[in-house]
Amino acid sequence: MSASVSASASPPRAETFSVTEVERISGLSTDDLLWYEELGLIDSVSREPGGQRIYSASNLRWLEFLNRLRSTGMPVEEMGRYVELAQEGEHTVAERRDLLAVHRRRVAAHVEELTATVHYLDWQIDFYDKKRTALSGGSPGSA
């Protein structure tokens, strides 16, 4: 099967996203997006002739990465340092990797702490389930 393309067909347009679409996809507010731009965490956001911001698929991938760093507690200063290193080029790969490895260790320690807290809460809930059962005079479902 073959398809013909007329000479007047325009080349495929790169996928772009409006601020509203980026808010919906990323979960970031317009204020967050502007803040990221002001801090220099995201750049190369294009503009339509009327000045509206237009985000690329690459911008969305970068925002996802920044969201993950932010949601895991990476300080904004470290996020900025990572961006600076990325902008400096390939010779900073080792330093970027090290920065992420340090952050990963902090995240893993936090996960361990949260896991211990979940176990403690499970123990506490079990304690109250047993206490409630004893006070109700018997079966666990009779509370």
Domains and CATH numbers, the chain: 14-71 (1.10.1660.10), 75-136 (no CATH)
Q: In the structure encoding, which two tokens stand for residue 57, read together?
A: 């698929």
Q: What is the pLDDT of residues 11-38, one digit of tens each?
A: 445 789 999 999 999 999 999 999 999 9
Output the pTM of the full model. Answer: 0.74
SS (H, E, C) the chain: CCCCCCCCCCCCCCCEECHHHHHHHHCCCHHHHHHHHHHCCCCCCEECCCCCEEEEHHHHHHHHHHHHHHHCCCCHHHHHHHHHHHHHCHHHHHHHHHHHHHHHHHHHHHHHHHHHHHHHHHHHHHHHHHHHHHHHCCCHHHC
- Per-residue pLDDT tens over the stretch 75-94: 999 999 999 999 999 999 99
